C-alpha cells in the first residue's frame, strides 16, 4: 500500500486543524489577549517606575528646600559645624545618597558621601532634576538665601536603587500573573469555543449528507440562540427543497410522458408528411408530365392554325370588309400569343424535369450573347448600358443563360416608355458566402405590395395591352435559381424603375 510522507500528512492535518472555526476564534482571542498582555508587561513597569521616581524627586526637592532654609544662617556666618550637623540630619532620611553645599564662588563648603555618589561626575551637578548617567541617583538643587540674596547652593542626590528593585519585583509579579491568566484564559477560550461550535460541526455533517442527496436529514435544535435560529432556518430550507424536488420529479415524469406522446405524434405526423409528400411529388410529376404532354401536343395544331390564318389573310384579306379584316387580325394575334404561352409552358416544364450540369460560368459572356439575341427588341432605341466586370460563378450555363435573357428582356420591355433607358448589371458585397448579381432599370417599376405574386406562374403586375408577356418568365427565373441552391428577390418604385437580384452560392 502506498503511504504518504509524514511531512505531508502533518501539514494536511495542521491545515485541517486551522480550518476549524473554534480554532480560528480561539487563536484570535489568544492573539488579542497576547497583545494586551504585552502592552501591560511593557508599559505598566514603566509607569510604576515613573510614578516612584516622581515621588522620590518631589520628596528630594522638598527636603532640599527645607534644608537650604535651615542652614542659611550657618552658611551666612560660615558655621561649618552646624552645616555638617544639618547634612547629617538630612542623611538620616531614607533614600538620600549625598548632600553637597557650595558657596557663591562655587567652592564646596561641606559635603557628605559625594565620593560614593560619583566624584568623577561632580561637574555634572549642574544637570538638575534628572537621573544620573547610570540611573541610580536623582539630583536636585535648592538655593540658600539670606535677605533674599543667594549666598550658596545645596545639591542633594536621592537614591533610586529601591525604586529599581521595586520595579523589578512588580514586573516579575505582573509576568507571573499574566502567564497564569493567559493559561487559564486559553483553556477557557478553547472550552467555550468548542461548546459554541459543536452544534455547527453537527450541522456541517448534516449539510454534507443533504448535499449528497439525502433530503430527509434534519438538524437537532438544542438552543434558542443564533445557532438554533440557523438550524431552524436550515431545516425549513431543506424541507422546502425536499418538497420542491418531489414536485420537480413529478413534473419531469409528466414532461417525459408528454415528450413520449409528442414524439409518438411526431413520428406519426412525419410518416403522414412523408406519405403526403410522396403523393404530392407524384402528383407534381404527373402534372408536369401532363403539362409537358399537352404543351408538346398543342404546338403542332397551333402552328397549323397560325399557318392557315396567314394563308387566309393573303387570299381574302383585301376582298373582305374592314370588320372581317379585324377578325382575321385578332385570330392571328390570339393564336400567336397562344403559341408563345405554350412554348413558355414547355420551357417551364422542362426546367422542372431537367438535371443541372454545373461548371465554371462567365456571366459577362452570357450577357454579351443575350444582348446580341435581344438586339431586334431594342434596335432604334436609346439605351445606356452599364455592365460591371462580374465574377466567375459555378452553375449550369444553359439555365443561367435563360435567367439572364428573362431578366434583361424584362428590363428592355419595361423601359420602353423612356426616351433614354438605363440598364445596369453588377454585383454587390454580401457577408454571406455567395455571389449577388443585380439587374437595375429606370422603367415603370411596380407596386411593392404585390411582391408576393411577382414570381408566381401566370402572375402579371401590368396590363397585357401595355406590356406583352405570359407571366411565366420570372417563375422560370425563380425555379432555376432555386435549382442552384440560391435565392431571388426584387425591389421597385412605381414609375422610377426596378431592381432584380439573385444570389448563388
Task: Please provide the DSSP assignment of 177-226 as one string.
Answer: HHHHHHHHHHHHHHHHHHHHHHHHHHHHHHHHHHHTT-TT-------SSH
Residue 105 dihedral angles phi and psi, to the nearest 5°: -85, -5
Fold annotation for 355-504: Heat Shock Protein 90 (3.30.565)
Instruction: For the full predicted model, state whether its pTM sits above 0.85.
Output: no
Of 58-67, 137-146, 169-178, 477-486, the poorest mean pLDDT is in 169-178
pLDDT beyond 60 at 284: no
| Largest Cα–Cα separation, the chain | 189
Of 494 and 216, the one with more pLDDT: 494
Number of C-alpha atoms within 13 angstroms, CB side, residue 442? Answer: 12
3-state secondary structure of 108: strand
Q: Which of 446, 454, 427 is nearest to 438 (CA)?
A: 427
Give the cell for residue 473: 418568365
Segment 241-270 shows an average pLDDT of: 85
Q: Please check whether the domain covering 21-180 is classified as CATH 3.30.450.20.
A: yes
Average pLDDT, the chain: 76
What does the DSSP assignment read for 365-432? HHHHHHHHHHHHHHTTSEEEEEE--PPPEEE-HHHHHHHHHHHHHHHHHHTTT-SEEEEEEEEE--SS
3-class SS at 318? coil
- The pLDDT of residue 227: 67
Terminal alpha carbon distance of the chain: 66
pLDDT tens digits, 291-311 = 555 555 555 676 767 677 777
pLDDT digits (tens, 9 = 90+) for 345-357: 566 656 655 566 7
Are the C-beta atoms of residues 421 and 453 closer than 8 Å to each other? no
Q: How many Cβ atoms are within 10 Å of 307's Cβ, its own excluded?
A: 11
Cell of 121: 561626575
- The domain locations on the chain are 21-180, 215-353, 355-504
User: What integer pLDDT is reported at residue 121 of this predicted model?
Assistant: 43
pLDDT, one tens digit per residue, over 82-126 is 888 888 888 887 778 888 888 887 788 777 765 544 443 444 444
Give residue-wise pLDDT tens across range 438-448: 999 988 888 88
The C-alpha cell that represents 24 in the structure block: 480560528
Q: Tell me: the pLDDT tens digits for 175-197?
A: 788 788 778 877 877 777 677 66
Strand locations in 208-342 (E): none
Domains 21-180 and 215-353 share a fold: no
Task: Decide which of 1.10.287.130, 1.20.120.430, 1.10.3720.10, 1.20.120.350 is the CATH code for 215-353.
Answer: 1.10.287.130
pLDDT of residue 459: 62
pLDDT at 67 over 70: yes
Amino acid at each position: 500500500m502506498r503511504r504518504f510522507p509524514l511531512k505531508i500528512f502533518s501539514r494536511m492535518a495542521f491545515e485541517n486543524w486551522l480550518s476549524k472555526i473554534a480554532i480560528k476564534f480561539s487563536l484570535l482571542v489568544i492573539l488579542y489577549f497576547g497583545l494586551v498582555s504585552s502592552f501591560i508587561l511593557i508599559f505598566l513597569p514603566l509607569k510604576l517606575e515613573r510614578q516612584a521616581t516622581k515621588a522620590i524627586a518631589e520628596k528630594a526637592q522638598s527636603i532640599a528646600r527645607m534644608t537650604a532654609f535651615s542652614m542659611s544662617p550657618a552658611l551666612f556666618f560660615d558655621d561649618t559645624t552646624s552645616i555638617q550637623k544639618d547634612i547629617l540630619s538630612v542623611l538620616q532620611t531614607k533614600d538620600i545618597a549625598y548632600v553637597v553645599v557650595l558657596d557663591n564662588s562655587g567652592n564646596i563648603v561641606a559635603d557628605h558621601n559625594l565620593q560614593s555618589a560619583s566624584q568623577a561626575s561632580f561637574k555634572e551637578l549642574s544637570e538638575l532634576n534628572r537621573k544620573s548617567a547610570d540611573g541610580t541617583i536623582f539630583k536636585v538643587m535648592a538655593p540658600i538665601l539670606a535677605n533674599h540674596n543667594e549666598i550658596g547652593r545645596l545639591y542633594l542626590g536621592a537614591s533610586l536603587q529601591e525604586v529599581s528593585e521595586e520595579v523589578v519585583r512588580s514586573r516579575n509579579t505582573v509576568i507571573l500573573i499574566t502567564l497564569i491568566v493567559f493559561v487559564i484564559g486559553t483553556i477557557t477560550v478553547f472550552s467555550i469555543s468548542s461548546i459554541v461550535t459543536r452544534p455547527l460541526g453537527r450541522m456541517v455533517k448534516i449539510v454534507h449528507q443533504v448535499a449528497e442527496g439525502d433530503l430527509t436529514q434534519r438538524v437537532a435544535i438544542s438552543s434558542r440562540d443564533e445557532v438554533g435560529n440557523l438550524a431552524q432556518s436550515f431545516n425549513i430550507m431543506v424541507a422546502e427543497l425536499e418538497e420542491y424536488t418531489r414536485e420537480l420529479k413529478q413534473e419531469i415524469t409528466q414532461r417525459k410522458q408528454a415528450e413520449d406522446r409528442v414524439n409518438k405524434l411526431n413520428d406519426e405526423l412525419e410518416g403522414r408528411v412523408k406519405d403526403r409528400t410522396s403523393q404530392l411529388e407524384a402528383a407534381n410529376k404527373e402534372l408536369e408530365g401532363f403539362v409537358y404532354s399537352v404543351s408538346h401536343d398543342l404546338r403542332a395544331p397551333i402552328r397549323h392554325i397560325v399557318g392557315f390564318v396567314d394563308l387566309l389573310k393573303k387570299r381574302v384579306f383585301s376582298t373582305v370588309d374592314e370588320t372581317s379584316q379585324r377578325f382575321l387580325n385578332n385570330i392571328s394575334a390570339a393564336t400567336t400569343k397562344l403559341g408563345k404561352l405554350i412554348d413558355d409552358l414547355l420551357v417551364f416544364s422542362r426546367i422542372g424535369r431537367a438535371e443541372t450540369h454545373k461548371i465554371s460560368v462567365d456571366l459577362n459572356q452570357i450577357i454579351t450573347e443575350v444582348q446580341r439575341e435581344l438586339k431586334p427588341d431594342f434596335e432604334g432605341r436609346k439605351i445606356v448600358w452599364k455592365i460591371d466586370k462580374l465574377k466567375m460563378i459555378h452553375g449550369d450555363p444553359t439555365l443561367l443563360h435563360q435567367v439572364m435573357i428573362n431578366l434583361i428582356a424584362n428590363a428592355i420591355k419595361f423601359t420602353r416608355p423612356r426616351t433614354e433607358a438605363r440598364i445596369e448589371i453588377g454585383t454587390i458585397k454580401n457577408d454571406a458566402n455567395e455571389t449577388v448579381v443585380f439587374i437595375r432599370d429606370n422603367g415603370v417599376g411596380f407596386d411593392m405590395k404585390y411582391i408576393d405574386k411577382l414570381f408566381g406562374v401566370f402572375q402579371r403586375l401590368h396590363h397585357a395591352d401595355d406590356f406583352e408577356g405570359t407571366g411565366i418568365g420570372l417563375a422560370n427565373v425563380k425555379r432555376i435559381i432555386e435549382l442552384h441552391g440560391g435565392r431571388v428577390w426584387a425591389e421597385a418604385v412605381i414609375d422610377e424603375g426596378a431592381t432584380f437580384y439573385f444570389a448563388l452560392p
